[in-house]
Amino acid sequence: MRTNRRFVNRIALLASLVVAFTVASSRLEADPGTCRGVTTALPFTDVMSRPFFSQIAAAFSCVLAIATSATTYSPSQNVPREQIAAFITRTQDSGNKRAALRQFWTTTPRYVGASGGLGTTTVGSRPALCESDGADVWVGNLEGTVSRVRGSDGKLLDTWTGATSAGGVLVAMGRVFVTGGTNPGRLYMIDPTKPAGEATEVTSGLGLRPLAIAFDGSRIWTANTGGPPASPGKGSVSIITPKMTTPWSVTSVSAGLSNPEGILFDGSNVWVTDAFASTLLKLDGNGAILQTVPVGAAPSLPAFDGTNIWVPNINNSTVSVVRAATGAVVATLTGNGLFGPIQAAFDGQRILVTNGPTGSVSVWNAADLSPIGHFDTGPGTSPAGACSDGTYFWVTLQRTGQLARF
């Protein structure tokens, strides 16, 4: 099939998505009005003689097809950007865990007690950040414990101790790693196959007050805040190389960094937010700065959706959306309940951002950046950390010592 190099028509795009999603087989018959020898009726009057009738019918049956009117599909019409985004979003919806579980809704909490009607689990005092291993959610509690919560029903399964100032959580290499926000910083390891007990300290040689943590496939990276943004120049990034014996080897880099706050790996590079400098920094494998992207004031804990990096900016209540491939800021989001946003999380379709000061979360469609809405987590909850297991979002409620399922 040949298409214009600058424009994609609706039938070409749909055929590509159907093939990619394996909704329609390459052996589907192309006779007008029939698919696999079965006569199929559609509400569209302009597709019955088209060679890709079967793909359109398959997409229509699983709600991928977007009509141009009640009776037309307009297969030769060029596809505007907003329709491409809608096609992609619906394709994602049809293939994720939420779709398999028929959970197409976005939770709208109602006030029932302090949790705002959300499903909550009491964890440790001052829960900070969380991460899912696909089945369970792990929470670092600043009191020095790590909680393991079952993702299917929110039951507290285990509690590990001995992780001083536990904050950021990483699931990698069959283990769970937790940062200890001390001076110097610490890194702890948990074997999830063993009974709960005391976390193993693998190094006490990180930079000052680590919080966020990432993994590049072979090494662990931590963003060491160095203290509050009012004390610039004390932050660093630590690169940890795992080995069979402890302590593990650590290299800390501080050049060009003031107060690193968040950190993530996009499959190619590590990115760090610098809260004092109001920048997003792209790093090379040695921690040197490759690119500096100005974002909002006091950027915090970002999320990567496979294309864009979503950066919550605490001090001016915005979210900067940065294209990872180029470092370009493609959008600066405002409104939608944003107020002092702390952390972003991605569930495969949606982006959720926590708003600690107001006790709420804000949600967007990742594909087209359109707002879904903002939702209360309850008075006095102070939502901070967020993650997703692919079905639910999970949010730490610092003031109530709870993990909320959203």
Note the pLDDT of residue 45: 74
Q: Do 71 and 169 fall within a single domain?
A: no
Q: Is residue 337 part of a domain?
A: yes
Note the pLDDT of residue 303: 98
Q: Is residue 225 part of a domain?
A: yes
Cis peptide preceding 229, ω within 30 of 0:
no
Q: Is residue 4 part of a domain?
A: no
Asked whether residue 86 carries a pLDDT value surpassing 70, the answer given is no
| Span 115-126, average pLDDT | 82
DSSP-derived secondary structure letter, 199: P
Asked whether residue 209 carries a pLDDT value surpassing 70, the answer given is yes
Q: Is residue 209 part of a domain?
A: yes
Q: Is residue 5 part of a domain?
A: no
Q: How many other C-beta atoms lie within 10 A of the C-beta of residue 266?
A: 18
Q: How many other C-beta atoms lie within 10 A of the C-beta of residue 110?
A: 10
pLDDT tens sequence across 162-181: 999 999 999 999 999 999 99
Q: How many residues does the chain have?
A: 406
Asked whether residue 112 carries a pLDDT value surpassing 80, the answer given is no
Q: What is the band of 237 on the pLDDT scale with cuts at 50, 70, 90?
A: very high
Q: List the CATH number of the domain containing 146.
A: 2.130.10.10
Note the pLDDT of residue 231: 64
Note the pLDDT of residue 229: 55
Asked whether residue 346 carries a pLDDT value surpassing 60, the answer given is yes
Q: Do 120 and 91 fall within a single domain?
A: no
Q: Do 248 and 381 fall within a single domain?
A: yes
8 burial level (CB within 10 Å; 0-12, 13-18, 19+): middle
Residue pair 339/352 in contact (Cβ under 8 Å)? The answer is no
Asked whether residue 381 carries a pLDDT value surpassing 50, the answer given is yes
Q: Is residue 228 part of a domain?
A: yes
pLDDT top residue among 30 and 148: 148
Q: Do 311 and 400 fall within a single domain?
A: yes
Domain boundary among 95, 121, 147: 95
Q: What is the band of 233 on the pLDDT scale with cuts at 50, 70, 90?
A: confident
Q: Do 290 and 319 fall within a single domain?
A: yes
| Span 278-293, average pLDDT | 98
Q: What is the pTM of this model?
A: 0.77
Note the pLDDT of residue 152: 93
> Domain limits at 274?
113-405
Q: Is residue 108 part of a domain?
A: no
Note the pLDDT of residue 74: 73
| Span 82-86, average pLDDT | 56
Q: Do 184 and 266 fall within a single domain?
A: yes
Q: Do 305 and 396 fall within a single domain?
A: yes
Q: Do 78 and 158 fall within a single domain?
A: no
Q: Do 138 and 70 fall within a single domain?
A: no
Closest CA to 355 of 376, 370, 334: 376
Total domain count, the chain: 2
Q: Highest-confidence range of 17-31, 49-63, 135-149, by mean pLDDT?
A: 135-149
Closest CA to 212 of 241, 234, 188, 181: 181
Q: Do 53 and 142 fall within a single domain?
A: no
d(CA 304, CA 266): 7
| Span 348-368, average pLDDT | 95
Q: What is the band of 53 on the pLDDT scale with cuts at 50, 70, 90?
A: low
Q: Do 349 and 383 fall within a single domain?
A: yes
d(CA 334, CA 313): 10
Asked whether residue 17 carries a pLDDT value surpassing 60, the answer given is no
| Span 25-35, average pLDDT | 43
Domain boundary among 51, 68, 95: 95
Domain boundary among 33, 62, 95: 95
| Span 211-239, average pLDDT | 89
pLDDT top residue among 307 and 65: 307
Q: Do 139 and 284 fall within a single domain?
A: yes
Q: Is residue 342 part of a domain?
A: yes
| Span 339-347, average pLDDT | 97
Q: What is the band of 2 on the pLDDT scale with cuts at 50, 70, 90?
A: very low
| Span 298-326, average pLDDT | 97
Q: What is the band of 114 on the pLDDT scale with cuts at 50, 70, 90?
A: very low
* Chain centroid to CA 27: 37
